[in-house]
Every structure is written in structure tokens, then in C-alpha cells.
Amino acid sequence: MFLHVISVDYLKGYQLRLTFSNEEVRIVDLLQEIHGEIFEPLQDIGFFRQVAINSETNTIEWPNGADFAPEFLYNLGSRAQQIA
């Protein structure tokens, strides 16, 4: 099954709430993943918060082109608690 990220919401720190094409919502904390040349700018929280969905690649992306594969994000994330 191919996963796509269909929405992203900034939560706090380096945490994002992602909704996937299988309708699951997962929380990912990317603090430990933002190392290396392309990801270094994401360490600035103001820049990190500029995350958006790239409709061509169907995943999250930042203005400098940094992105993560949807499958990686799905496996990294934990299922979000449903609010009753």
C-alpha cells in the first residue's frame, strides 16, 4: 500500500500531527531526525514550522526542499489519541 500525507499540523517543539491517506492520524517527533546538511535549517523552530504538504510528492516538505518519505513518517509516528 502506498501512503501519502494528506495534512500536517504543527504541534510543539519538533512534533507534527500528520494525517495519512489510510485515514490514520499519527504524531511524529522529528527532533532526532533533523541532522545533516539538508535538515540542519529545520533546527530553527521558526523554519521548522514552515512545513507544508507537497502535492506532487504527497509528503511534507520545507522551503529548502527537505522532506521525509511518508512510510518513514508513518513508522516513526505514534497513533494520535482520538478525542471523544
Domain contains 74: yes
CA 36, CA 58: separation in Å to the nearest integer?
23
The C-alpha atoms of residue 14 and residue 23 are separated, in whole angstroms, by: 22
Host domain of residue 80? 1-28+51-84
Written as tens digits, the pLDDT of the chain (84 aa) is 689 999 999 999 999 999 999 999 999 999 999 999 999 999 999 999 999 999 999 999 999 999 999 999 999 999 887 654
Domain assignment present for residue 13? The answer is yes
Q: How many domains does the chain have?
A: 1
